[in-house]
Structure 1
Amino acid sequence: MIEVETISYNSEFQRIKKLSEFDLDYLEINDEVKNLVELAGMVAGTEISMLNLLDSNTQWTVSPVIEGPRQIPREDSVCNYTIQTKDGLEIQRLDLDERFSGKNFVQGETGLKYYLGIPLTLTSGENIGAICLADRVEKQTSNIKKKALRLIATEIVEKLEAKKKLNETVYSLSEAIRVKNQVAHDVRGPINGIAGLAEVVETEEVSTEEMKEYFKLIKDSGKGILDLTDDILDNGKDPDIFRSTYLNLQQLKEKLDKLYQLPAKSKQIGLHINFDPEKNWKFFPKRKLLSILGNLISNSIKFTPINGEVQVALDIKNSEQGKFIQTLITDTGKGFTANEIQEFYNNNLDCSIGSAGEKGFGLGLKLVNEMLKDLNGDMQISSTQDKGAKIEVRVPI
């Protein structure tokens, strides 16, 4: 009998925080792990093999036989129980288990019978997801095969952790390039002035040859520095690094559409993501943006009733401190009470229930707030209970 632990608020927040630190783009992760997931299915001898990652609200599924990620509410997931175990969870008959017997995926002749989940455990101890192995016939997996599957799970975790370190290095490099380019641009202005002044003086009649020679040296020196800054700028243009770490507004909209239109449509909710095309020329780091905005959009969908609306407005604004991305998320959901908003600012939001009975884990907003602090951003909530909510997020770029 596999013991399932009771999840505490603090340990669950630590778990989803660890997952968020991977800054995963679920539209791109498939290529990273699909071969290992397929290998797990071959070892187990099951018809279905998937990788499931569970955040505060959603189970994200990566499979070697489907294109792009799939998602279901976390409360409908069998892997939600697997991540509460140390060694995994095996169920011979899902249709006879009271926790799952009413789920659609176990119904009829084609319904699933067998399930084996192997947790993805980080070196720090948190389970961020699971390898999911399932079949339409009753099975049992040997201990030797389970040991092999745990080795595959470890390999997946190591691959994700290596990718995380690589992303951190790329972000640091791209930031260094950005600063270098900014310094070069800042230097060009005054140097251009020196060179221009020297050129004017050189063409004017002056009293001594020494003065002309002096200003000629200034001009030559200034031109040399200009050439140097041109080299700095040219060497700093690495298109591959730029493409992998930066987005514009249109690309951000397209990613959010691909990730969240399907769950919105499944609840018959209109999800509308808009941006100002005139500001699409500006590129900005995508670091943590998908996690931040994804959590908020997912929450809005969860708490908005059937036939409701979720509006997302993406924009780039200027302030005295510089440019920032402003995102306004407005929904027609249940909203927040004044007390709940205050509890958010006090970092004390608890679990709540969505408009279709989905269970909220009370952690998504807290996680978003922490990620925004890491980016020197901020979030403001305004709402009237039962009349929807409006959330404004600002992230410096």
Structure 2
Amino acid sequence: MLNEIIENDEAEYQRIKSLSKFDLDYNELQEEFKSLVQLSAMIAGTEMSVINLIDNYYQWTVTAFSSKLLQMPREESICDRTIRTHEPLEISDLEKDERFKDRGFSKGDSGFNYYLGIPLTLESGDNIGALCVLDKNSKEISDRDKSMLRLVASEIVNKLEHKRKMDETIFSLNKAIKTRNQVAHDVRGPITGITGLAEVAASEDSSKEEMVQYFRLIKDSGNSVLELTNDILKSGLSNDPFQEKNINLKQLKEKLLKLYRLPSKSKNIDFQIKINPEKSNIIFSRRKLLSVFGNLISNAIKFTPANGKITVDLDVLHLDKGKYLKFKITDNGVGISKEALAEFKQDKLNSTRGTSGEEGFGLGLKLVRDMVTEFRGEMDISSKENAGTEIEVKLLLN
């Protein structure tokens, strides 16, 4: 079954890496895509339409019909089938389909019987999810309406791509501003010294009028440079129009709890997040953090048995090289064997089932390791079979 789901590990890795580049907070997408979701249902004439984005572990559902973010393990979703091709997947009678007739979404009076899913395909060819329309009754959607739904799917991809490019542009601009500010600070230091020296020399009684005039010129020149650097610095303060997505430890804790409380609760796992109270209000960029945490927390949930425990410890460190986000994720799950750890270090991808039979794709840790490298950070894994896993990460913050 697992080989049927993932035929090419490298292709699947590129797919989830493409999705991670969007740096999405799925909770924030509900309102942003509400109109396109409603339009899809109107075109198809169905009771419901949804946008499903599929990462390495879960299907995240964006819908106008619920204020809450919905999610399910990806192996339980229909859209996990849809993203394997570039053609729409249509199922007219879910109750008679051997693959899905026993799933919760096709049972009872509240279940759906009709499904049409259209892959959300990037320019790279990677399918990151699907636009789906569903109905309790069987439907016949015309080719014209299906073409219109494909246009909506393209618009969803375009909006996501635009969002990603805008975020990357803002990040690059802010890096340039920070570099400019640092240069201004570096220049202001020695110039302040020159000005101070000139003031002292100008205030002393000296018979050498030429020397006094000379130092006055130094003072004037120094003040001119100071005014210039002050102008540069002011232009890069908080009123700068290019605002990054910033966060602090307290807000990061709340976001992670909101995203992963339900998956952990479904296995009755005690999921806790602890922060250093002295550092709780330090602000830093949120860029790509949710992707890193999402893969590690999802992995811990997958390999921790029912009634287990997962703890996330968050802290901010000020080290020689700069400001670091330090976090440690500890679970009492099945652990990782020495052989599996050695294969991971050799860049081998191996799939493993979770403690509740969840399909494993063996790609989450590799993606995190690559992202940690991008952050110029460090990751350390210690684990033993049947004794849990501890993963400690330090990320250099911008």
Q: Into which bin does the TM-score normalised by the smaller protein fall? A: over 0.9
Q: Is the 8 A contact 1:174 1:241 kept in 2?
A: no
Deviations 1:78-121 (A, max 9, x none): 10001012211111121221211221222222221111111111
Aligned match of 2:84: 84
| Secondary structure at 1:168 match in 2 | helix
TM-score, with length taken from structure 1 = 0.94
Residue 72 of structure 1 pairs with residue 97 of structure 2: no
Aligned match of 1:21: 21
1:351-370 equivalences under 5 Å are: 351-370=351-370
Q: Distance in 2 between matches of 1:207 and 1:338?
A: 82
| Secondary structure at 1:184 match in 2 | helix
Q: Is the 8 A contact 1:300 1:331 kept in 2?
A: yes
Question: Percent identity between the aligned chains?
Answer: 52
Deviations 1:242-285 (A, max 9, x none): 65422222222222122111211222112212222322443222
Question: Aligned AA for 1:347?
Answer: D
Question: Aligned AA for 2:359?
Answer: K
Q: Distance in 1 between matches of 2:335 and 2:201?
A: 69
| Secondary structure at 2:287 match in 1 | coil
Aligned-pair distance for 1:45?
Answer: 0.9
Q: Is the 8 A contact 1:174 1:245 kept in 2?
A: no
Aligned match of 2:41: 41
Aligned match of 1:12: 12
Range 170-179 or range 202-211, more displaced:
202-211
Question: Aligned AA for 1:233?
Answer: L
Q: Is the 8 A contact 2:171 2:244 kept in 1?
A: no
Range 101-110 or range 297-306, more displaced:
101-110
Aligned match of 1:62: 62
Question: Aligned AA for 1:24?
Answer: L
Q: Distance in 2 between matches of 1:272 and 1:200?
A: 60
Question: Aligned AA for 2:32?
Answer: E
Q: Is the 8 A contact 1:170 1:241 kept in 2?
A: no
Aligned-pair distance for 1:30?
Answer: 2.4
| Secondary structure at 2:380 match in 1 | strand
Aligned-pair distance for 1:131?
Answer: 0.7
Q: Distance in 2 between matches of 1:25 and 1:110?
A: 29
Residue 104 of structure 1 pairs with residue 104 of structure 2: yes
Aligned match of 1:120: 120
Question: Aligned AA for 1:150?
Answer: R
| Secondary structure at 1:343 match in 2 | helix
1:145-184 equivalences under 5 Å are: 145-184=145-184
Aligned match of 1:250: 250
Question: Aligned AA for 2:61?
Answer: T
Q: Distance in 2 between matches of 1:289 and 1:254?
A: 14
Q: Distance in 1 between matches of 2:110 and 2:366?
A: 40
Aligned match of 1:214: 214
Q: Distance in 1 between matches of 2:372 and 2:348?
A: 17
Range 44-53 or range 272-281, more displaced:
272-281
Aligned match of 1:237: 237
Question: Aligned AA for 1:367?
Answer: L
TM-score, with length taken from structure 2 = 0.94
Q: Distance in 1 between matches of 2:371 and 2:56?
A: 14
Aligned-pair distance for 1:189?
Answer: 2.3
Q: Is the 8 A contact 1:340 1:349 kept in 2?
A: no
Aligned-pair distance for 1:322?
Answer: 2.1
Aligned match of 2:391: 391
| Secondary structure at 1:376 match in 2 | coil
Deviations 1:281-333 (A, max 9, x none): 43222221111111111111111112211111111113332221111111111
Q: Distance in 2 between matches of 1:197 and 1:182?
A: 24
Aligned match of 2:274: 274
Q: Is the 8 A contact 2:6 2:12 kept in 1?
A: no
Cα–Cα, structure 1 residues 303 and 21, in superposed 2: closer, same or farther, change >3 Å? same
Aligned match of 1:319: 319
Cα–Cα, structure 1 residues 240 and 314, in superposed 2: closer, same or farther, change >3 Å? farther
Q: Is the 8 A contact 1:248 1:280 kept in 2?
A: yes
Aligned-pair distance for 1:241?
Answer: 5.4
Q: Distance in 2 between matches of 1:151 and 1:25?
A: 24
Q: Distance in 1 between matches of 2:255 and 2:291?
A: 11
Q: Distance in 2 between matches of 1:322 and 1:36?
A: 43
Question: Aligned AA for 1:146?
Answer: K
Residue 186 of structure 1 pairs with residue 186 of structure 2: yes
Equivalences, count: 394
